[in-house]
Structure 1
């Protein structure tokens, strides 16, 4: 399969050029290992392999000795060490800290679960490494597929590069099964795998909606606090993105304060929800909204890491799908499954602009073939032009 250039690669290379180390977290099969194969390193360890894990679990000091030997070998330069899936042996983070502090090595550390690192009270090396996040493919990294293809099959590299529908379905089914077996059952994250499996299906089906923990807990017969714990597991295992509401307002006192969750990949979401490949017409709009949200999260991570994505909702009034919050400005965004947006599609954006007059622009992301000016500060953009919203 052809290598897909990843937008995060130049960021990693620039970080390494500054003699800093990198902690690269991201869900399984998003391309972390493939990307690292493109970066020359002096020593590589993958803790996915049981034999490698057992070797260092028995004698962790051996890891320090091996890396120091690489430093001592000619040419005597700061070696770059790659350690893949560090959550398998969280203690290696202490080894990395020691070697970084003594200027014996530079590291790229990868992981696919922040939960195990946190549960083991692992040292995440604050101040010593630059933490980056590896997402599935963004639109700019794979421009060819149709919008419908992206909404149904997601953007995991292995799925994108598979040409047969049956293979893609099998890959996605395997992903969900592997997650339940290896991340949840093997790590004993929950006592009742059956109830968690039902929760996973429900959470996938409800993705993109404002979450009501009590209502959802009644559907699967668990306490609402258990439901909250289950969502935290998904978040810690990097399977969902939590989006908080924007609640600051001088005029409204009842803005929604509950969050939304987006599955990190729409193909995984669909299979986890046990949905087919022929969504009902109203579903396309929801999937499109989720896709835009995910793209915005990924672009902000890369281009504007201090910015945050929110949504804005008054339960008794208007709502805006997405709001980008920067230090001094807000950018409201509506998402419409339409190729000809009209005045009704911008009503809530107009209300938002009146209530937050400092917002410089507002956007409708849609399926139009070219940009359309919809109002004084409102622009409709084709979904292919989504990156333009970050220019203001």
Structure 2
């Protein structure tokens, strides 16, 4: 099963990095584009033979490409899992300079963390950087089913499977990928504490984080908890929303809110893949809110709008799920997993609009048609996403 991805990549036009968690479809996407007939040289560093060969002699990588490139006026080199062997970036840098306009590089990886920490050559702007995420509802298309995505998430491989195979795959993903590859980061030495942290981070995904409480639960210092969250961000397993603080008169809550990158992975970590979330329950509401935040985050990046994303909450309890800083001004978004919205559901939006003159409020719902409540647009979630990110 193939999916038409929203991300637009400059294949053959400019060198670039493509980062994303494992199984988001990076290799499949690049191979699909290159199969259209562009001459390309491919290296997969997950293959032991290739890894050993080039780690022993990085210059051989350069020599092989130089020889191959002589046969082509323009060509592309695809290096999969570049973070496995960062030393190759020096060779790539040299070839980009020597063959400007004729030779471009595609470098994929599950994390830029190792590259940054190793202080390696990141090509000084000669390569652009993109990120690939699990599928959006637009990419899933006709087979999209909200309840399935709320339960199993949107990793492409999940849509090739049935029932229990999805559960087994997600459990394997959390056990092997998250608990082995992330733990392989040298900053993480206390394996039991990090495993406990990972479960708590999943349980608290979408909620403000109190580092001191987490520290008590895991038995490590609050500073270490912050470092653990940084590992999740660097490996693209989670992202943070900061509180919107600009020009506020009231004292605001200052804790970050973290969201894990996929609902299926989240549910696997929370051990709740066994049953479909029930509409009308608190869990369903949390998962739907999480789903909308993920969709906005992904489409915001793919469309290259890159609107800053925040949440808003005051010490008096007024809150808004999401604040987008758009070119037209502040857009406050409240997310509700039901179709009928009452004025009392929108108190946070009314407070925010009163606090920030000129801002606009919208409520994202599961309704099938749009309507207004006391001047606030209440939009079906599909319509909201198409309106702002089509």
Task: State TM-score, norm by structure 2.
Answer: 0.93
Counterpart of 1:291? 291
CA–CA separation in structure 2 for the residues paired with 1:185 and 1:373: 49
Q: Report SS of the residue matched to 1:257.
A: coil
Counterpart of 2:253? 256
Q: How many residues align?
A: 380
* Contact 1:196/1:230 (<8 A) preserved: yes
- Residues 1:178 and 1:386: Cα distance change in structure 2 (over 3 Å): farther
CA–CA separation in structure 2 for the residues paired with 1:47 and 1:233: 22
Of the three residues 8, 11, 19, the one matched with 1:16 is 11
Counterpart of 2:27? 33
* Structure 2: gaps of 5 or more residues: none
* Contact 1:112/1:237 (<8 A) preserved: yes
CA–CA separation in structure 2 for the residues paired with 1:362 and 1:96: 48
* Structure 1: gaps of 5 or more residues: none
Q: CA offsets, 1:350-391, max 9 Å, x none?
A: 2212222222x3211111111112233x21111222324526
Counterpart of 1:49? 47
Instruction: Note the C-alpha offset of 1:327.
Output: 4.4
Instruction: Note the C-alpha offset of 1:136.
Output: 0.4
Counterpart of 1:390? 388
Counterpart of 2:113? 115
CA–CA separation in structure 1 for the residues paired with 2:136 and 2:117: 30
Of the three residues 60, 80, 105, the one matched with 1:62 is 60
CA–CA separation in structure 1 for the residues paired with 2:83 and 2:180: 13
- Residues 1:3 and 1:58: Cα distance change in structure 2 (over 3 Å): same
CA–CA separation in structure 1 for the residues paired with 2:184 and 2:212: 28
* Contact 2:300/2:389 (<8 A) preserved: no
* Contact 1:335/1:364 (<8 A) preserved: yes
* Contact 1:26/1:133 (<8 A) preserved: yes
Instruction: Note the C-alpha offset of 1:321.
Output: 0.2
CA–CA separation in structure 2 for the residues paired with 1:182 and 1:347: 44
Instruction: Note the C-alpha offset of 1:44.
Output: 0.5
Task: State TM-score, norm by structure 1.
Answer: 0.92
Q: Report SS of the residue matched to 1:363.
A: strand
Q: Report SS of the residue matched to 2:255.
A: coil
Instruction: Note the C-alpha offset of 1:51.
Output: 1.3
Counterpart of 2:232? 234
CA–CA separation in structure 1 for the residues paired with 2:120 and 2:327: 32
Further displaced range: 254-263 or 117-126: 117-126
* Contact 1:115/1:236 (<8 A) preserved: yes
Q: CA offsets, 1:123-173, max 9 Å, x none?
A: 2223211111101000111133322211111000001221x2100001101
CA–CA separation in structure 2 for the residues paired with 1:290 and 1:121: 34
- Residues 1:181 and 1:354: Cα distance change in structure 2 (over 3 Å): closer
CA–CA separation in structure 1 for the residues paired with 2:194 and 2:91: 35
* Contact 1:42/1:70 (<8 A) preserved: no
Counterpart of 1:99? 95
Q: Report SS of the residue matched to 2:11.
A: helix
Instruction: Note the C-alpha offset of 1:181.
Output: 4.9
